[in-house]
Amino acid sequence: MKRRYYNGSDLSRAVTIEDLRRMALRRLPSFAAEFLEGGGEDELTLAWNRDVFKTMRFEPRMLKDMMVVRTSTMLFGSEMASPLVIAPTGHTNVFRGGGDVALARAAAAEGIPFTLSTMSNTRLERLAGEAGGRRWMQLYILGEKAVRDDIIRRAEESGYEALVFTTDVNVPSLREWERRQFRKTSKLNLPALVDVALHPRWALDVLVPNGMPKLVNIADFFPDEISSTDRALALVRKEFVPNITWDHVAELRERWPRKLLIKGVLSPEDAQRAADVGCDGIVLSNHGARHFDSCLSPMEILPEVAAALGDKLTIVIDSGFRRGSDVVKALALGAHAIMVGRATLYGLVAGGEPGVRHAIGILNSEIERVLGQLGCAGVDELGPHLIRTNPTMPHAEPIGRAV
Ligand SMILES: Cc1cc2nc3c(=O)[nH]c(=O)nc-3n(C[C@H](O)[C@H](O)[C@H](O)COP(=O)(O)O)c2cc1C
């Protein structure tokens, strides 16, 4: 039977993250929808990020008292209401006016950390003032400029708890989808412009108040260019340099006094190196399959990394998480927390801050239900003995992009 999804715009009637995704895609013009959904090249890894969960199934334990099931967990010595962290996403205000702040406020209200991107449309100081809660700062090292020093200093002064250094776009991808939407850097082509005109609700929310959102977090480094989003983006893209190595991580370790995580790790060797240079954690990630097509899903490598690293590092994982069952599988296989990127962005587009809270609420209630069905009263009772993995996947389905 064909699965049906909610097709309206009443947030409270969205039952799943997929419902929110469909609501979000109806609201966005095509270039923004592609920016949200797009993956590298043929999107094989984008599909695999979802399909990999089908290769893992639960082996439940029955007849245990599940009247009280706890989703809370400890991360870096503090309790959080559920094992979720909002992932860093750049240019978030393109999806919804005030997007960064809405995400951060929702995270604070739901008792989970929020990660601000270097490429945010909100300055990190402003976000700290307006959102509160547990905040992590994501870092890109850009070219010769001292962006890195600036971000580190400001994040420390503004009380960010952790620095998340992203390593997987040092060699950037072609972003083929972007080329189909733009006639030159950040100049939309005619069909994309017409599509913008067909989305007045989005234009009124995003474009009319302030024009295209700018990369204000790094504005001091590109003072002239930043006034124009096109030039800023072109310039920033050139600043992603491929000569970043573990020496940079060691340097960061010396400068940043709080928790340091490396995002984009996909092998036990690199996880070990992260531990060796003194990182506190890693984010196993393929960047939501946005860049490197045909690379593996972090879920495939998680059991090996967890076995090799044990308690030496905090293991955060992301890429493809859309269901509470996905989250529980990762926790059972050794992750300590799960970053969500698109899942909360769908909520943001569909309903602003309440939409993000709705997305987190959907995931939390699914996590709680799966824990109960599995016979675990809390995430601390999970373990690999509860998962059966079958690497052959008979029912791989195309993901069916709706944009
Ligand atoms: C629109 C968008 C923008 C992103 N921007 C960044 C970024 O600026 N820095 C970063 O480290 N990761 C970025 N990511 C990757 C996310 O942090 C995360 O790794 C990814 O979204 C996880 O996969 P998921 O979307 O399937 O949950 C971005 C992802 C999306 C969808």
Residue 287 is classified by DSSP as G
Same domain for 53 and 187? no
Same domain for 194 and 340? no
Candidate from 138-152, 199-213, 341-355 with smallest mean pLDDT: 138-152
Percentage of the residues of the chain whose pLDDT score is greater than 70: 94
Q: How far apart are CA 73 and CA 51, in angstroms?
A: 27
**240 Cα: distance to centroid of ligand 1 (angstroms):** 16
CB of residue 286 inside a 6 A radius of ligand 1: no
Instruction: Copy the structure tokens of residue 216.
Output: 């204000």
Tell me if 102 sits within 8 A of 96, measured CB to CB: yes
CB of residue 88 inside a 6 A radius of ligand 1: yes
pLDDT band at 104 (very low <50, low <70, confident <90, very high): very high
Same domain for 287 and 154? yes
Candidate from 117-131, 142-156, 284-298 with smallest mean pLDDT: 142-156
What does the pLDDT read at residue 310? 80
Name which residue sits closest to atom 15 of ligand 1, judged by CA: 287
Residue 53 lies in a domain: yes
CA-120 nearest atom, ligand 1: 8
Candidate from 22-31, 174-183, 247-256, 272-281 with smallest mean pLDDT: 174-183
Residue 142 has pLDDT above 90, yes or no: no
CB of residue 324 inside a 6 A radius of ligand 1: no
Residue 108 has pLDDT above 80, yes or no: yes
**126 Cα: distance to centroid of ligand 1 (angstroms):** 21
pTM for the model: 0.96
CB of residue 287 inside a 6 A radius of ligand 1: yes
What does the pLDDT read at residue 261? 98
Tell me if 216 sits within 8 A of 122, measured CB to CB: yes
Q: What is the CATH classification number for the domain harbouring 377?
A: 3.20.20.70
Residue 396 lies in a domain: no
Same domain for 214 and 137? no
Residue 201 lies in a domain: yes
pLDDT band at 14 (very low <50, low <70, confident <90, very high): very high
Same domain for 265 and 374? yes
Q: Which of 237, 266, 282 is the last residue of a domain?
A: 237
Same domain for 265 and 332? yes
Instruction: Report which of residues 186 and 343 the model is more confident about.
Output: 343
What does the pLDDT read at residue 228? 62
CB of residue 117 inside a 6 A radius of ligand 1: yes
Same domain for 321 and 192? no
CB of residue 355 inside a 6 A radius of ligand 1: no
Q: What is the rounded average pLDDT for all residues in the chain? A: 92
What does the pLDDT read at residue 398? 45
Percentage of the residues of the chain whose pLDDT score is greater than 90: 79
Residue 361 lies in a domain: yes
Residue 1 lies in a domain: no
> What are the pLDDT digits (tens) for 47-73?
999 999 999 999 999 999 999 999 999
Same domain for 186 and 275? no
Residue range 364-391: average pLDDT? 96
Residue range 6-14: average pLDDT? 93
Residue 395 has pLDDT above 60, yes or no: no
Residue 1 has pLDDT above 90, yes or no: no
What does the pLDDT read at residue 221? 81
Same domain for 99 and 136? yes
Residue 403 has pLDDT above 60, yes or no: no
Per the annotation, the verdict on 291 as an active-site residue is no
> Of 199, 287, 291, 358, which residue is the catalytic one?
287
Name which residue sits closest to atom 4 of ligand 1, judged by CA: 89
Q: How far apart are CA 343 and CA 366, in angstroms?
A: 13
**87 Cα: distance to centroid of ligand 1 (angstroms):** 6
Name which residue sits closest to atom 2 of ligand 1, judged by CA: 89
Residue 403 lies in a domain: no
CB of residue 320 inside a 6 A radius of ligand 1: yes
**288 Cα: distance to centroid of ligand 1 (angstroms):** 6
What does the pLDDT read at residue 242? 85
CB of residue 288 inside a 6 A radius of ligand 1: yes
Same domain for 229 and 298? no
Candidate from 282, 287, 299, 349 with most ligand 1 atoms within 8 A of CB, to mutate: 287
Same domain for 55 and 183? no
Structural domain count, the chain: 2
Count CB-CB contacts under 10 A for residue 209: 11
Alpha-helical regions (H) of 158-282: 176-181, 190-197, 200-202, 208-210, 229-239, 246-255, 268-276
pLDDT band at 394 (very low <50, low <70, confident <90, very high): low
CA-37 nearest atom, ligand 1: 31
What does the pLDDT read at residue 272? 97
CA-115 nearest atom, ligand 1: 17
> What are the pLDDT digits (tens) for 283-317?
999 999 999 999 999 999 999 999 999 889 999 99
Strands 281-284 vs 314-317: parallel, antiparallel or unpaired: parallel
What does the pLDDT read at residue 231? 66
Residue 113 belongs to domain spanning: 14-28+42-173+243-383
Residue type, 383: G
Residue 36 lies in a domain: no
Q: How far apart are CA 336 and CA 116, in angstroms?
A: 20
**174 Cα: distance to centroid of ligand 1 (angstroms):** 16
Instruction: Report which of residues 191 and 227 the model is more confident about.
Output: 191
What does the pLDDT read at residue 229? 66
Burial class, 124, CB count within 10 angstroms (exposed 0-12 / middle 13-18 / buried 19+): buried
Residue 399 has pLDDT above 50, yes or no: no
Same domain for 129 and 193? no
CA-166 nearest atom, ligand 1: 11
Residue 157 lies in a domain: yes
**67 Cα: distance to centroid of ligand 1 (angstroms):** 36
Name which residue sits closest to atom 11 of ligand 1, judged by CA: 166
pLDDT band at 220 (very low <50, low <70, confident <90, very high): confident
